[in-house]
Amino acid sequence: MPARPRIDDAALPLGLQPRTVFVTGKGGVGKSTVSAALALAWRDAGARTLLVEIEGQASSAAMLSNKKIGYNATPLGEQLCALRITLNDALKEYARLRLKVKLVADRLVSNPIMDQFAQAAPGFRELLVLGKLWALASETDDRGRPKWDAIIVDSPATGHGLGLLGMAGVIARMFPVGPIHTQAKAVDAFVRDPARVGVVLVSLPEELPVTETLELHDELRARGIDVVASVLNGLLVDRFSDAEAAHADELIQSSDDLDPALRHALETVLWEHMRCTDQATERARLEAGLDLPSAVLPYMFAPQLTREHIASLARWFMPAGQERLHAQLAGADDGPAAAAAVHAGEAGPA
Amino acid sequence: MSPSPKRPRRRRVDAHKLGDRLRELDVLLVCGSGGVGKTSIAATIALDEAMRGRRVCVLTIDPAKRLAQAMGLDRLDDRERKVKLPAGAADGGSLHGLMLDPKTAFDRLVAEASATDEERERILANRVYQQVSQSTAGMQEYMALERLYELDRGGKYDLIVVDTPPASHARELLESPHRMLRFLNGRSLRWFLKPGAKMGKFGLKALGGSGGPVVGILERITGAQMLRDTTEFFESVEGIIGQASDRIKVVERMFASPKTGFLAVTSPERESVEQAVAFWELLEERHYRFVGTVVNRIEPLAPGSLTSQAELEALDGIDTSFATRIVAAQVDHAELARRDGSRLDELADATGDALTISVPRLPRIVNDLDGLRELAPFLAT
């Protein structure tokens, strides 16, 4: 077995020590993209990393590799694996663990009664998923050390994500005795252990996603679940100054017979600048409402995100990339020209 | 990945036909995944139809706070609220909004289907009921339909627009009545969990025979209490199953009515467009009425060719640096516009005679009545 590389603290995304994180946020904010980029960034900082997707959700591992991802960890590269939790397999694994006889467990799982039960019994499915994650976070290598430094769970959107994270606690309270209680209580203790587990909230710099993120943060805190960071995705860095936008507006207003293509070009200036102003308002609202490490990721002008884009986002995640973006957003001296470089360089920071 | 070099062959602008199709409908279900602007599109259509003189109700589950306020829906109380129409509305037009509370709707179904108060109270008090009535998949979707059915039956409206819950797949909406039935009807499970059927420790012998041993094994992995509570729940809903099933079937039949239409809302992202096509196929298969797809927030294509740096520098007060950045921005946006154009074509080709309507990205987020009025021309209802 190769020597285990040391984790480079100075390269950690969000300054965050690797652990198990649930990546969640409003639908459409880019949870899978951020999960994949965060997995790469943690791996690059030296962490042994596992990216986890859940059945019924979009695949974040597909953003990193063409490999088919199953219930067992599939290597995607150096120190990076991915895994997909399927309910049927999780149920089988749990039944085998409890019943200790593989054949009986497998028969039980394929029995329609079990299927009905798993459908109807409150929270049973969520408990299986959380139980599997707990098992993964507790896995050790042949020298007894944790097998994974970082586990990134591409989680369901807000409502369902909250349902998932809180479910073990609900079940433990609902069923005060029995094996389900024991399991639920242990899983709940894991989910609420800030040394091992945290939530990363993903948002877009728009009104609804920001509002939803702030509400979600409060609800998670109220349930005793640690929120460790926020990620603001899809940020436009302003390529134009106020004066330039005002000038473009003036040119549009003052000439009636402006060439349509020219007019469109000037309107693009206005559109971007206005958009950036709105985004700044929402970013300020998010940062004022959350006392958390936060990362910003630039909007990618691309018809479809490719692996190169995810790699670029992973580099923006690193401390040097964040420093540059934050300086830019705060109004750096080199101003709009440097901002243009952010959007021009698909490769991200060096 | 480089953008497709060819320009879109044709751009279908079907917006002018949407109004005609809407006027043939009593019910419009607006479907799509979260974050695509479904609530704004549903509200725009409702407002516009009301402005044209129809009596409209829009049913929503979780609108933007400011949108809700603009529409007078500041409270989540499951009641219809009248929205004040802007000046210029045609005679007879009215708009109501209703913010759905799924829990209330489920309790109401139980209340309606229960023969006695005692039966109702027993179900409402069951811990498993309290949990599943909120957490079971498809429940919100079904409850929206349930409420819709009540409103439709009331006959107070010419058109009811439903902003469906942000399910990950529109399929969940269509299947929700069936799931609800299956859920209440968990027959085999109920039979095996009957108190009469011994839940003792049968061990492993005779697995595959009667249900008893399976239950025994089930008990070993879940515990007696979870089984007992679940059993009690099914026992307590036993009495309402007949009534509730009839009701659910009636609600389901509403889908097939020629006066019910489905409108998909998507973003130009590939996954979102593919979901819309899959939804269209599903509706075709069931012979439901698919009105069309609104592709929201597309990037408008530059007219003619892109502007050159020299042309820009020829304008007053534009230096080289500024011009370079304008060209870069225009190129970036043009690439997105080309992508969106070809997505629209793919969609139009894949969905037969259904409408494909594009709504451009607006510089600001739509969250009030004025914003909705701005969107309306693109839908041209």
Output the pLDDT for position B364. Answer: 60
Task: Kindly list the residues from chain B whose CB atom is less than 8 angstroms away from the CB atom of residue A272.
Answer: 329
Determine the residue of chain A that is closest to B300 in CA distance. Answer: A264
Query: Per the CB < 8 Å rule, is B306 touching A261?
Result: yes
pLDDT in tens, A269-312: 998 998 899 899 999 999 999 999 999 999 998 888 899 999 99
Domains defined along chain A, listed by start? 9-239+293-344 (3.40.50.300)
Output the pLDDT for position B121. Answer: 87
Compute the Cα dihedral for A168, A170, A176, A179 and give only its sign.
negative
Let me know if residue B19 belongs to a domain.
yes
Let me know if residue B2 belongs to a domain.
no
Sheet with A197-203: strands ordered across: A74-77, A80-85, A49-54, A150-154, A20-25, A197-203, A227-235, A294-298
Short-list A130, A195, A199, CA closest to A164: A130
Task: Kindly list the residues from chain A whose CB atom is less than 8 angstroms away from the CB atom of residue B35.
Answer: 26-29, 209
List the CATH number of the domain containing B71.
3.40.50.300
Query: Three-state DSSP class for B117?
Result: helix
Q: Is the ipTM of this complex over 0.85?
A: no
The rounded Cα B49 to chain-centroid distance in angstroms is 19
pLDDT band at A340 (very low <50, low <70, confident <90, very high): confident
A116, A157, A336: residue with CB nearest B189: A116
Output the pLDDT for position B270. Answer: 80
Query: Per the CB < 8 Å rule, is B229 touching A175?
Result: yes
Cβ–Cβ under 8 Å, residues B200 and B261: no
- In the predicted model, residues of chain B with pLDDT beneath 50 are 1-11, 188, 195-211
Residue range A192-216: mean pLDDT, rounded: 93
Helix, strand, coil fractions of chain B, as percent rounded to 5: 55, 15, 35
| CA A166 – CA A160 distance, rounded (Å) | 10
Residue range A113-121: mean pLDDT, rounded: 66
What's the gap in Å between the CA of B20 and the closest CA on chain A?
32
Let me know if residue B3 belongs to a domain.
no
Residue range A142-169: mean pLDDT, rounded: 89
Determine the residue of chain B that is closest to A309 in CA distance. Answer: B1
Let me know if residue B331 belongs to a domain.
yes
B223, B305, B307: residue with CB nearest A181: B223
| CA B281 – CA A340 distance, rounded (Å) | 43
Determine the residue of chain A that is closest to B40 in CA distance. Answer: A208
Output the pLDDT for position B180. Answer: 76
Is the pLDDT at A107 greater than 80, yes or no?
Answer: no
Taking the model in full, what pTM does it have? Answer: 0.79
Cβ–Cβ under 8 Å, residues A236 and A272: yes
Task: Kindly list the residues from chain B whose CB atom is less than 8 angstroms away from the CB atom of residue A334.
Answer: none
Structural domain containing residue B97: 15-379
Q: Quote the tokens at residue A66.
A: 């063409």
Let me know if residue B52 belongs to a domain.
yes
Query: Three-state DSSP class for B143?
Result: helix
Residue range A13-23: mean pLDDT, rounded: 94
How many independent structural domains does chain B possess?
Answer: 1
Output the pLDDT for position A334. Answer: 65
Query: Per the CB < 8 Å rule, is B217 touching A278?
Result: no
Output the pLDDT for position B145. Answer: 83
∠ CA A126-A128-A130 to the nearest 5 degrees?
A: 70
Probe site for chain A from B36, B128, B135, B331 (most A CB atoms < 10 A): B135
